[in-house]
Amino acid sequence: AKDAGRNGIQFYNKAMDARARTRLALEYEIRRGLENGEFEAFYQPRVDCLTGEIVGAEALARWRHPERGLLFPDSFIPVCEESGVIRELDRQILAQVASQLANWEAQGRLLQVSVNLSASQFGDPALPDVLQQILQASNCRAAAIELEITESLLLAHDQNTLDTLASLRTMGFAIAIDDFGTGYSNLAYLQNYPLNTLKIDRSFISGLPQSSAIPQLITSLCRILSLNMVAEGVETHAQLDWLRQQGCQQYQGYLCSRPVSLAHFNELLHYSP
Ligand code: C2E
Ligand code: CA
Ligand code: CA
Ligand code: CA
């Protein structure tokens, strides 16, 4: 029994070892991919619930891997977060978005695009400067960019986070809370932070129109606090009808489109009302 136990542990260690090696290899590949410009912003339309017009988009990272094809965030974001490479990835996605926003504006198309910012960015006091450099290099207005952050960041009640958010707002960026409702329900932070938008998590939208208690609550909350409300993961007309009746302003979801390449998004824009 003792031997079996020892073998069990040895086996476990070997498996751990293999996992660590795979992870390290992936991290190396991601760094190389970032140097080669293999990461690309895809765009999921953000749509006006009433008019159906595309008013903007959310930028979502994709990896055009030279051998494995198009890869989705679940296969690289966790390793990016663990290794800290996420800062460089977020910076590259933001730079692509900023230069594209300037292009659209030059064509007379005013859009707002949101980008996902990892919580670890907020530990970096250089964040406002990094963002300022991106704006200057691209000639993009800060107000055309919305920064998506998660609830967990605000629940920490950290003075540095509050200061960073305040300076980002002063610079003109809009701030959105992503996946709203999935964190702990301490709503006090909604009053204490300078926010523009709540994005209701897809898990609450999927039950509509039957399970509507929480979406209804969040709609009222947004109205009372004068926050813009975006519903995520809208897939059916019944869901959209419900949201429209409740006064939700905007939605994203497969009902309009999956996240698509820039070229494809430009086509969608062309046909948008
Ligand atoms: P998220 O920010 O909550 O993004 C929404 C996810 O839901 C996207 O998955 C999107 O493709 C998916 N989605 C949108 N509409 C629908 C729908 O109608 N039905 C269903 N079933 N799904 C829908 P994606 O692109 O795989 O991204 C996953 C997560 O990876 C994102 O969740 C975000 O947290 C993270 N992520 C993506 N790009 C970046 C990035 O550039 N930086 C950082 N820090 N995180 C990113
Ligand atoms: Ca998001
Ligand atoms: Ca989300
Ligand atoms: Ca998410």
Average pLDDT over residues 56-76: 97
Helix axes 213-224, 237-246, angle to 10 degrees: 40
Side chain identity at residue 249, one-letter code: Q
Q: Which residue's CA lies nearest to atom 37 of ligand 1? A: 60
Q: Which residue's CA lies nearest to atom 23 of ligand 1? A: 233
pLDDT digits 0-9 by tens, 235-250 = 999 999 999 999 999 9
pLDDT digits 0-9 by tens, 139-179 = 999 999 999 998 888 777 778 888 899 999 999 999 999 99
Q: Which residue's CA lies nearest to atom 10 of ligand 1? A: 259
The residues, any chain, with a CB within 8 Å of residue 107's CB and separated by 6 or more, are none
Q: Report the separation in Å between the CA atom of 235 and the middle of ligand 2, taken as the mean of its atom positions.
A: 17
What radius of gyration, in Å, describes the C-alpha atoms of the chain? 21
Question: Where do we find the tokens 């009053």?
Answer: 191
Question: Where do we find the tokens 């509507």?
Answer: 212
CA–CA separation, 141 and 169 (whole Å): 13
Ligand closest to 85 (CA) is 1
CA–CA separation, 180 and 58 (whole Å): 16
Containing 45, the helix (H) or strand (E) segment is strand 39-48
The residues, any chain, with a CB within 8 Å of residue 168's CB and separated by 6 or more, are 127, 128, 131, 147, 175
- Give one DSSP letter per residue of 174-205, joined into a string: EEEEEEETSS---TTHHHHS---EEEE-HHHH
For position 193, what pLDDT does the model report? 84
Other Cβ atoms within 10 Å of 223 Cβ, number: 13
Q: Is 253 in the pocket of ligand 1 (CB under 6 A)?
A: yes
CB 251 within 8 A of CB 230: yes
From the CA of 93, give the closest atom in ligand 1: 41
Q: pLDDT at residue 3 above 60?
A: no
From the CA of 199, give the closest atom in ligand 1: 3
Q: What percent of the chain has pLDDT above 70?
A: 94
CB 250 within 8 A of CB 49: yes
Among the listed residues 187, 180, 189, 190, the one whose alpha carbon sits nearest the alpha carbon of residue 215: 180
Among the listed residues 11, 16, 46, the one whose alpha carbon sits nearest the alpha carbon of residue 265: 46
Q: Is 86 in the pocket of ligand 1 (CB under 6 A)?
A: yes
Helix (H, G, I), strand (E, B) or coil at 146: strand
Q: Which residue's CA lies nearest to atom 19 of ligand 1? A: 233
Provide the ipTM: 0.97
pLDDT digits 0-9 by tens, 104-130 = 999 999 999 999 999 888 778 889 999
CA–CA separation, 123 and 143 (whole Å): 23
CA–CA separation, 72 and 93 (whole Å): 14
CB 90 within 8 A of CB 115: yes
CA–CA separation, 67 and 133 (whole Å): 33
From the CA of 86, give the closest atom in ligand 1: 44
End-to-end alpha-carbon separation of the chain, Å? 72
- Give one DSSP letter per residue of 28-92, joined into a string: HHHHHHHHTT-EEEEEEEEEETTT--EEEEEEEEEEEETTTEEE-GGGTHHHHHHHSTHHHHHHH
Strand partners, 41: 61
